Structure 1
Amino acid sequence: MTTFVDRVELHVAAGSGGHGCASVHREKFKPLGGPDGGNGGRGGDVILVVDQSVTTLLDYHHSPHRKATNGKPGEGGNRSGKDGQDLVLPVPDGTVVLDKAGNVLADLVGEGTTYVAAEGGRGGLGNAALASARRKAPGFALLGVPGTLQDIVLELKTVADVALVGYPSAGKSSLISVLSAAKPKIADYPFTTLVPNLGVVTAGETVYTIADVPGLIPGASQGKGLGLEFLRHVERCSVLVHVLDTATLESERDPVSDLDIIEEELKQYGGLDNRPRMVVLNKIDVPDGKDLADMVRPDLEARGYRVFEVSAVAHMGLKELSFALADTVARSRAAKPKEEATRIVIRPKAVDDAGFTVTQEEDGLFRVRGEKPERWVRQTDFNNDEAVGYLADRLNRVGVEAELMKAGARAGDGVAIGPEENAVVFDWEPTVMAGAEMLGRRGEDHRFEAPRPAAQRRRDRQAERDESEKEYDDFEPF
């Protein structure tokens, strides 16, 4: 049965925003008291958060589909819908988030580090929020925006200061068990270690973590054996320690050739050339092991390696090794650049950035792409003529119609708003003023008001002109 998983594909879906409500206040002797439809609630986010108590991605291997809750729709009486609940997914320290193409989206290191994997949709505005001097009784509300769907890959890269690498049965698990309080499974056969084991070591005032990486064999960097699956676990370490078996029973092997083979696999994997190396000659409690260690030590030191002779079973040479590792880790930590204080970077939008693009495709179709126009389309109830007119107002106000004319669009040409797989397509009919502007005072109900004096009519007309320049898109009801 699988108990350790360090790579999973996760399908996450954020909650959709609740729909706004179109409602008119009614009470005795006052049947038309004005719009009172509330706004829809925001959809919940899917958030990854580092939790030190989590050490594997096993839960997501068994349940790869996760979804946050939707926002509730608004109600009459100016009652806004409840926001959807965020879905918080705990992940191990050292988890890397990638898209399906392999691009890194986030590197989650440190307790409490978070990443929003899928963002919840915003709630639709109710007709009370859409009311204005020109539109006193909107007969429509905006729909909630669907939540983001995302397919991501989670990869766990162990966060350790020291990585023990070597052939199967070289004694890595035994060494970590005597240097720390970790209790890995130990036996004398290949691939005993099927998961990276992590232990905490205290040497003087330095506390560091040490991991043993499952046995590497020739061809591991190309996928042979288990090495390829776990080589990623040495990427974050400060020190690489070669654990060499001086008492191997295989006649074709010796410590120097073992080291050369493992170094070649690390080289093929890449990215580890700058890590300091140490060599541990293990099993010197065996007479032949001690003799072989004495023979190969000068050769290894001539290559520039710092060599330690130890026996994990007999607890020989462990204190010297532990303090040497602590010293190297401390120097590595001191050499790392200090983290600078968080800076807020402001990137103002370019003055010529319209927020959308208009392009003509090979089949003659004009396609409009942009975050706002696409969201406005998703918020529109196309069964409501007034809502469609409001959409036309918005598109006209940001200059979509002007850009279509500039791109060469003519009456009757096809126009699509959105991506190819999910677009709204219509035949374009150019107008001087779009939507409700053509209809006059759309959304008003003249039963709300008595005849107005001339001065009041002038003020209302000025208010209409001012409002036509306003953006209702970024209104946040909460």
Structure 2
Amino acid sequence: MTTFVDRVELHVAAGNGGHGCASVHREKFKPIGGPDGGNGGRGGDVTLVVDQSVTTLLEYHHHPHRKATNGQPGGGDHRTGKEGQDLVLPVPDGTVVLDRQGNVLADLVGQGTTFVAGQGGRGGLGNAALASARRKAPGFALLGEPGEARDIVLELKTVADVALVGYPSAGKSSLISVLSAAKPKIADYPFTTLVPNLGVVTAGSTVYTIADVPGLIPGASQGKGLGLEFLRHVERCSVLVHVLDTATLESDRDPVSDLDMIEEELKLYGGLEDRPRIVVLNKIDIPDGQDLADMIRPDLEARGYRVFEASAVARTGLKELSFALAGVIAEARAAKPVEEATRIVIRPKAVDDAGFTVTLEDDGIYRVRGEKPERWVRQTDFNNDEAVGYLADRLARLGVEDQLRKAGARAGDGVAIGAEDNAVVFDWEPTVSAGAEMLGRRGEDHRLEEQRPATQRRREREAERDEAAKEFQDFDPFA
């Protein structure tokens, strides 16, 4: 059974926004009291949060589909719909978020670091919020926006200061077990270690983490063995430690050729050239191992490596190695640039930025792209003529019609709002003010006129009678 997973594909879907409500207030002796439809609730977000207690992506390997809850629709009497509950997904420290094309979306390092993987949809406005002096009784409400849905890839890169690299059975797990309190599986056959092991080491006043990276053999950078799966775990390490087996029983191997092979694989993987290297000649408790270590040590030091002899079984040479690693790590930490205070960069909107674009495509369709037009289209109920007219008014105020005219669009030309896979397409019929004259005064209800004060209605009727009488007096039947 798989117990460690460091790469998964996750399908996330945020919650949809609740629809707004179109309602008219009614009570005894006041049957039509005006619009009182409430707004819909916001859909829940899908958020990734770094949790130090989580060490693997196994949970998402078994359950890759995650969805937040939807917002509830609004109700009458100005009742706002309940917001959807955010879905919080804990991930290990060092998780990298990518899209399906391999582009990095976020690098999550540090307890509590968050990334919104899916944005919840906005709730639609109810007709009470849409009412205005010109539109006193809207007979429609806006729809809730759909939540963001996308596929992402999570990759775990171990956050450690030291990475132990070397051939299988070189003694990496044994070293980490005696340097720290980690208890990895140890055996005398290749590929005993199938997952990276982490341990915490204290050397004087320096505390650092050490990781055992398994499975490096010739061809690892191209996917042979287990190396490609775990090479990513050395990317964040400050120091690389080559663990060389000085007591190998394989006649075609020796510590120097092992070192050259591992270095070649690290070079092919790339990005690790600047990391300091330390060489550990392991298993010197075996007589042949000590003799071989004495033989090759001058050659390795001539190459510029710092060389240490150690034995995990006899526990010799460990203190010198531990403090040497602490010194290198302290230097690496001191060399890191000091994080400056967050600078707020203000980028004002360009004076000629309309917030949308109009382009003529090869098939003769004029495509409108922009955050506002596309959002308004998603919120429109196209089964309601009044809602369609309201959308037309908004697009006209934004300047979409003017831009279509400038782009050369004529009556009957096709216009698409949105991306190709999810666009609203219609034949354009230009108007003076987006059809307001044709449809009349949208959103007015003559029944509401009857609710005006009686004195105001009486004055209006008297004014109408006076005007009619004046017209009659001026009428000349013989003219």
The separation in 1 between residues aligned to 2:32 and 2:436, in whole angstroms, is 22
Partner of 2:472: none
The separation in 2 between residues aligned to 1:249 and 1:328, in whole angstroms, is 33
Equivalent pairs, count: 454
TM-score norm. by structure 1 comes to 0.94
Q: CA deviation at 1:215?
A: 2.4
The separation in 1 between residues aligned to 2:251 and 2:357, in whole angstroms, is 70
Counting only pairs closer than 5 Å after superposition, residues 385-396 of structure 1 correspond to structure 2 as: 385-396=385-396
Partner of 1:475: none
- Secondary structure (helix, strand or coil) at the match of 2:425 reads strand
Partner of 2:92: 92
Partner of 2:120: 120
The separation in 2 between residues aligned to 1:193 and 1:436, in whole angstroms, is 73
1:9 is aligned to 2:9:
yes
Partner of 2:377: 377
1:399 is aligned to 2:408:
no
Partner of 2:214: 214
The separation in 2 between residues aligned to 1:435 and 1:247, in whole angstroms, is 88
1:331 is aligned to 2:324:
no
- Greater Cα offset, 431-440 or 153-162: 431-440
- Greater Cα offset, 301-310 or 342-351: 342-351
After superposition, what is the alpha-carbon deviation per residue over 1:216-267, rounded to whole angstroms, capped at 9, x for unaligned?
0011011111101100000000000000000000111111110000000000
Partner of 1:182: 182
Q: CA deviation at 1:439?
A: 3.1
Q: CA deviation at 1:442?
A: 1.1
Task: Judge conservation of contact 1:388–1:435 (CA < 8 Å) in 2.
Answer: no
Q: CA deviation at 1:440?
A: 3.8
Partner of 2:367: 367
The separation in 2 between residues aligned to 1:369 and 1:236, in whole angstroms, is 40
Task: Judge conservation of contact 1:390–1:435 (CA < 8 Å) in 2.
Answer: no
Q: CA deviation at 1:448?
A: 2.3
One-letter amino acid of the counterpart of residue 222, structure 2: Q
- Secondary structure (helix, strand or coil) at the match of 1:128 reads helix
Q: CA deviation at 1:9?
A: 0.5
Partner of 2:35: 35
One-letter amino acid of the counterpart of residue 30, structure 2: K
The separation in 2 between residues aligned to 1:229 and 1:444, in whole angstroms, is 66
Task: Judge conservation of contact 1:47–1:118 (CA < 8 Å) in 2.
Answer: yes
The separation in 2 between residues aligned to 1:340 and 1:67, in whole angstroms, is 37
Counting only pairs closer than 5 Å after superposition, residues 308-323 of structure 1 correspond to structure 2 as: 308-323=308-323
The separation in 2 between residues aligned to 1:365 and 1:339, in whole angstroms, is 50
C-alpha RMSD of the superposition: 1.1
- Greater Cα offset, 337-346 or 203-212: 337-346
Counting only pairs closer than 5 Å after superposition, residues 143-162 of structure 1 correspond to structure 2 as: 143-162=143-162
- Secondary structure (helix, strand or coil) at the match of 1:391 reads helix
Task: Judge conservation of contact 1:220–1:226 (CA < 8 Å) in 2.
Answer: yes
The separation in 1 between residues aligned to 2:7 and 2:149, in whole angstroms, is 20
Partner of 1:457: none
Counting only pairs closer than 5 Å after superposition, residues 176-255 of structure 1 correspond to structure 2 as: 176-255=176-255
Q: CA deviation at 1:438?
A: 4.2
1:351 is aligned to 2:351:
yes
The separation in 2 between residues aligned to 1:226 and 1:437, in whole angstroms, is 71
- Secondary structure (helix, strand or coil) at the match of 1:83 reads coil
Larger radius of gyration: 2
The separation in 2 between residues aligned to 1:127 and 1:415, in whole angstroms, is 28
Q: CA deviation at 1:415?
A: 0.8
Partner of 1:269: 269
- Secondary structure (helix, strand or coil) at the match of 1:279 reads strand
- Secondary structure (helix, strand or coil) at the match of 1:153 reads strand
Counting only pairs closer than 5 Å after superposition, residues 43-82 of structure 1 correspond to structure 2 as: 43-82=43-82
After superposition, what is the alpha-carbon deviation per residue over 1:339-380, rounded to whole angstroms, capped at 9, x for unaligned?
111222222211111111111111111111111111101100
Task: Judge conservation of contact 1:162–1:210 (CA < 8 Å) in 2.
Answer: yes
After superposition, what is the alpha-carbon deviation per residue over 1:16-50, rounded to whole angstroms, capped at 9, x for unaligned?
00000000110000011111000000000000000
The separation in 2 between residues aligned to 1:436 and 1:372, in whole angstroms, is 21
The separation in 2 between residues aligned to 1:215 and 1:57, in whole angstroms, is 20
After superposition, what is the alpha-carbon deviation per residue over 1:255-286, rounded to whole angstroms, capped at 9, x for unaligned?
11100000000000000000000000000000
Partner of 1:109: 109
Runs of 4+ more than 6 Å apart: none
Listed as ranges, the gaps of 5+ residues in structure 2 are: 461-479
One-letter amino acid of the counterpart of residue 167, structure 1: Y
- Secondary structure (helix, strand or coil) at the match of 2:209 reads strand
Q: CA deviation at 1:437?
A: 5.3
The separation in 2 between residues aligned to 1:356 and 1:189, in whole angstroms, is 64
Listed as ranges, the gaps of 5+ residues in structure 1 are: 455-478
- Greater Cα offset, 431-440 or 189-198: 431-440
Q: CA deviation at 1:436?
A: 3.2
Q: CA deviation at 1:413?
A: 0.8
Task: Judge conservation of contact 1:21–1:126 (CA < 8 Å) in 2.
Answer: yes
After superposition, what is the alpha-carbon deviation per residue over 1:25-83, rounded to whole angstroms, capped at 9, x for unaligned?
10000011111000000000000000000000000001111000000000001000011
Task: Judge conservation of contact 1:143–1:381 (CA < 8 Å) in 2.
Answer: yes
Partner of 2:173: 173
One-letter amino acid of the counterpart of residue 102, structure 1: G
The separation in 2 between residues aligned to 1:438 and 1:147, in whole angstroms, is 35
Partner of 1:463: none
The separation in 2 between residues aligned to 1:378 and 1:30, in whole angstroms, is 35
The separation in 2 between residues aligned to 1:85 and 1:437, in whole angstroms, is 44
- Secondary structure (helix, strand or coil) at the match of 2:307 reads strand
The separation in 1 between residues aligned to 2:97 and 2:436, in whole angstroms, is 46
One-letter amino acid of the counterpart of residue 414, structure 1: G
After superposition, what is the alpha-carbon deviation per residue over 1:380-432, rounded to whole angstroms, capped at 9, x for unaligned?
00111000000000000001111111111111111111111111111110001
After superposition, what is the alpha-carbon deviation per residue over 1:77-122, rounded to whole angstroms, capped at 9, x for unaligned?
1000011000000000000000011000000000000000010000
- Secondary structure (helix, strand or coil) at the match of 1:178 reads helix
1:279 is aligned to 2:279:
yes
The separation in 2 between residues aligned to 1:386 and 1:418, in whole angstroms, is 21
The separation in 2 between residues aligned to 1:121 and 1:227, in whole angstroms, is 42
Q: CA deviation at 1:435?
A: 3.4
